[in-house]
Amino acid sequence: MEKRVTFRGWFLPLCLIAPQIVISAVFFFFPAGQAVWQSLFIPDPFGLSSQFVGLGNFKYLLGDPYYRASFVTTAIFSTLVTLASMIPALFLAVLADRLVKSAGVYRTLLIWPYAVAPAVAGVLWMFMFNTRVGVVAWYLGQLGYDWNHVLDGTEAMGLVVVASSWGRISYNFLFFFAALQAVPRSIIEAAAIDGARFWRRFFTIVLPLLSPTTFFLLVVNIVYAFFETFGVIHTITAGGPQQATTILVYKVFSDGFVGQDLGSSAAQSVILLGVVGLLTVLQFKYIEKRVHY
């Protein structure tokens, strides 16, 4: 889509676009290029010189059991976060959709967690499950369950998943609710006349109509789980115990800043770059599809 009419001249538009181009070049393209460049080198321990290793960093990474484990961890983590944030959100949205008059009130209450930063959400959940002072951990203890996410990898994973999904429920709820409100009333009524009961209507009529939204949220939530949950993990588990919650983004950070292994960290960045690219392509497929709708 293009404008029929445009203004003449080339100097003014270049001035107008320059700030964004300069900022993107300095803080985006240069660092991204650096990441690719650095991924081909191994610096010496003192950072004085570095040795060109070609794809050596990548080869090493793909053979590294820790990195492979991190891939698996990320896959499990993002699948769980996506499910744990979308299913309750859909359920709440379906309920809210039936409460025409008071839906607005519930919506106002339910969007709160979205505004809470992932890192702060991490602190809140860590507080609840803290092995020393956590209320939930204490009550679990009373029930005979000994909660300790500091030592137990599965419990740690469970906690970061719940803490990461919590704020996301708000986000997904908003989109599902908007999509449900957009389902034409007449279609529901036609199904009702055909004799379909509520849940049957929901699974055969409403859910298929929601599929564009669902697909969009799937992609967006996976991206969220991949990149934006850093704060949750850093505050609750710092990747532990024994790397049980070290997702790929966290490993870029811990290898690059804590471990000072710049070459490997850069190679990991490049791999992540590929993952993001893939997700973006997926997202565009979706947009294309929606255009043809």
Partner 1 sequence: MATEITGMVQRRGAGLWLTHLAMIAGVLVIFFPIWLAFVASTVTQPEIVRPPMPLWPGDQLIENYTAALFSGVNVPVLTMLGNSLVMAVGIAVGKIVISLTSAFAIVYFRFPGRNLFFWLIFLTLMLPVEVRIVPTYEVIAGFGMLNSYSGLIFPLIASATATFLFRQFYLTVPDELAEAARVDGARPMRFFWDILLPMSRTNIAALFVILFIYGWNQFLWPLLITTDPSMNTIVMGIKQMFPSGDDLANWPVIMATSILAMIPPVVVVVSMQKLFIRGLVDSEK
Count the neighbouring beta carbons within 10 Å of the beta carbon of residue 235: 20
Residue selected from 38, 78, 221, 246 as contacting partner 1 according to rule CB under 8 A:
38
Q: Applying CB under 8 A, what is the total number of residues that bind partner 1?
A: 101
Q: How far is the CB of 265 from partner 1 (least distance, A)?
A: 5
> How far is it, in rounded angstroms, from Cα 138 to Cα 157?
19
CA angle 202, 206, 211 (to 5 degrees): 125
53: Cα separation from own chain's centroid: 33
Q: Are 196 and 188 in contact (CB under 8 A)?
A: no
> Per CB under 8 A, does 1 bind partner 1?
yes
Question: Which region, left, alpha or beta, applies to residue 185 given φ > 0 means left and ψ of -120 to 50 means alpha?
Answer: alpha
Residue selected from 45, 63, 108, 154 as contacting partner 1 according to rule CB under 8 A:
108
Choose between 28 and 66: whose C-beta lies nearer to partner 1.
28
Choose between 52 and 101: whose C-beta lies nearer to partner 1.
101
Q: How far is the CB of 160 from partner 1 (least distance, A)?
A: 14
Q: How far is the CB of 159 from partner 1 (least distance, A)?
A: 12
CA distances 214 to 48, 86, 109, 110, Å, are 50, 9, 23, 19
> Per CB under 8 A, does 207 bind partner 1?
no
CB-based contacts of 53, cutoff 8 Å, min separation 6: 40, 41, 42, 263
> How far is it, in rounded angstroms, from Cα 235 to Cα 122?
6
> Per CB under 8 A, does 259 bind partner 1?
no
Residue selected from 61, 205, 206, 252 as contacting partner 1 according to rule CB under 8 A:
252
> Per CB under 8 A, does 102 bind partner 1?
yes
Choose between 80 and 167: whose C-beta lies nearer to partner 1.
167
Residue selected from 61, 121, 157, 160 as contacting partner 1 according to rule CB under 8 A:
121
> How far is it, in rounded angstroms, from Cα 237 to Cα 125?
11
The one segment of 41-49, 50-58, 65-73, 256-264 that binds partner 1 by CB under 8 A: 256-264
Residue selected from 109, 182, 207, 258 as contacting partner 1 according to rule CB under 8 A:
109
> Per CB under 8 A, does 80 bind partner 1?
no
> How far is it, in rounded angstroms, from Cα 193 to Cα 60?
63
The one segment of 41-49, 57-65, 153-161, 266-274 that binds partner 1 by CB under 8 A: 266-274
Choose between 17 and 207: whose C-beta lies nearer to partner 1.
17
Q: Are 236 and 150 in contact (CB under 8 A)?
A: no
